Amino acid sequence: MKIYFRIIAVLFFVSCFSLSHAQLYDWRGPDRGGIYNETGLLKTWPESGPELLWELDSLGEGYSSVTISDDAIYVTGRKDSFDVITALTFDGEIIWETVYGKAWTRNFEGTRSTPTYYNGDIFLISGIGELVCLNSSGEIKWKRDHYQTYGGEPLRFGVSESPLVYDNKVIASPGGDKASLVAYNIENGDVIWEAAPLNEAPQYVNPKLVVHNGRSLIVTLTDTYIIGVDAVDGTILWKFNYNELNAVEGRARNNHTNTPLYNDGKVFIANGYKYVAVMLELSEDGSAAEVVWESRDIGPHHGGMLLLGDYIYATSYESNSMGNWVCVNWNTGETMWSERWINKGSIISADSMLYIFEEKTGNVGLVNPTPEKFDLVSSFQMTKGEGPFWAHPVIRDGRLYLRHGEVLMVHSIK
């Protein structure tokens, strides 16, 4: 009996050790929440901005963010009609470069998919919907024509999804009439489960993994619905008609882009194009969701959102080219402030500060997060690169990574 319990204890320790040492580096940091676990960062910047460590051009056109493992920096870009991923050293030297799929070339031709890194493998989706797994040496391990297989059609702006990795599965949303979500084995690309089809177009959303009362579910959006899917077997647990909520507004452009937020049993969804933002509360077992509150003041176009304490920080949407920076109370939906600072854009956080990247002219702001006011502490302008400033910033090991078009610039903020 003692030997039996000793074996169980060892197996439990090994399991916990493996989970705690799994290397997952993903879209918008841990849990895709936009908050990077950094400390000791600068609380103000010089007028010219934090120290520029290095910059690199000719990465290929892209709107995707970098992904950083313990060993390398990974970034995608379009070169000619192909999507390319490049691995870099922490000094900006190219390690390798691999063509992984066909690019989206009908409009806004840069890559969208930010790589997902997990235990030495890299997962990403090409502009036309090819799901690809590479190893950390840049060799393609397996590839699936994800969209074509499941009858999905890329939306008018191409495929933007970053695959979700969970429990030996890589999960993505092809849309179409065969499956709403598909989970593949991360080792060989075999299908593990297919969520029931909703005969819906996919969206530009990177799905969110939620662990609610011990149950793992995936929250994402289709053309019409917000859905909750069991991450273990792909069962659709609930769906909420998001378009019906917005019918009074007469919205026709269902360009959903923002990863949902989750905290303490509640899921928050917001979108541009003047869509109503909604807070949903999950039932005890996660099998249902009900509306808690709605807001018409917060609606990030594609710059993301984050939760610090009891407050959501993001932007509003006035038009494709304008919006305010916004703070909303998580619990009540009350708008604390809505302020103009040049233009809307992307937002992340680290060391209890906000980092905002304005999309029109490339201004980068350091903001003290407070519900009392929009408190801009420092700012500078990124002037290299071409096109809109749509790539979300990334922070890792005291460095701020800013991507614009073919250019990557790395600043020291420690």
- The number of angstroms, rounded, from the C-alpha of 149 to the middle of its chain's C-alpha atoms is 24
Rounded average pLDDT over 161-190: 95
Helix (H) or strand (E) holding 408: strand 407-412
Cβ contact 181:152 at 8 Å: no
- DSSP assignment of 6-48, as one string? HHHHHHHHHHHHHHHT--EE-TTSGGGSSEE---S--SS--TT
Which two three-digit tokens encode residue 260? 């949902």
Distances from the Cα of 267 to the Cα of 82, 212, 316, 329, angstroms: 36, 10, 19, 14
Burial class (CB in 10 A: 0-12, 13-18, 19+), 113: buried
The per-residue pLDDT of the chain, averaged, comes to 92
Structure tokens at 386: 């071409």
3-state secondary structure of 402: strand
Please state the rounded mean pLDDT for residues 13-30.
Answer: 66
| CA dist list (Å): 402 to 405, 410, 411 | 10, 6, 8
Q: What is the DSSP letter of 318?
A: S
Of the listed ranges 16-20, 180-184, 268-272, 311-315, the one predicted with least confidence: 16-20
The dihedrals phi and psi of 245, each to the nearest 5 degrees, come to -60, -30
Class of domain 25-412: mainly beta
3-state secondary structure of 397: coil
Secondary structure (3-state) at 5: helix
Cβ neighbours of residue 17 closer than 8 Å, sequence gap 6 or more: none
Percent of the chain surpassing pLDDT 70 = 93
> Confidence class of residue 157 from pLDDT cuts 50, 70 and 90?
confident
Confidence band of 2 (pLDDT split at 50, 70, 90) = very low
Judged by average pLDDT, the poorest of 1-10, 171-180, 243-252 is 1-10
Q: Identify the pLDDT of residue 248.
A: 54
The string of pLDDT tens digits covering residues 276-292 is: 999 999 999 999 999 99
pLDDT above 80 for 7 = no
pLDDT of 323: 97
Please report the pLDDT score of residue 9 as a whole number.
37
pLDDT (tens digit, 9 = 90+) per residue, 66-124? 999 999 999 999 999 999 999 999 999 999 999 999 999 988 899 999 999 999 999 99
Distance CA 119, CA 24 (A): 7
Q: What is the pLDDT of residues 35-68, one digit of tens each?
A: 999 999 999 999 999 999 999 999 999 999 999 9
**3-state class of 346 per DSSP?**
strand
DSSP 66-114: PEE-SS-EEEEEEETTEEEEEEE-TTS-EEEEEEEEEPP-SSS-SB-PP
Count H helices and E strands in the chain, helices first: 3, 34
DSSP state of 242: H
Give domain limits for the chain. Answer: 25-412
What is the mean pLDDT of the segment spanning 385-399? 97
Task: In whole angstroms, give the CA distance from residue 257 to residue 287.
Answer: 24
Q: State the residue for tokens 């360009």.
A: 255
Give how far Cα 345 sits from Cα of 148, 235, 390, Å: 33, 35, 7
Structure tokens at 411: 């600043």
Give DSSP secondary structure letters for 153-215.
---TT---PPPEEETTEEEE---BTT-S-EEEETTT--EEEEPPP-SB---S---EEEEETTE
pLDDT of residue 13: 37
pLDDT per residue over 290-329, tens digit each? Answer: 999 999 999 999 999 999 999 999 999 999 989 999 999 9
Torsion of CA 224, 225, 230, 234, to 10 degrees: -10
Using alpha carbons only, what angle is made at residue 395 by residues 390 and 397, rounded to the nearest 5 degrees? 160
Is the CB of residue 270 less than 8 Å from the CB of residue 314? Answer: yes
What pLDDT shows up at residue 18?
38
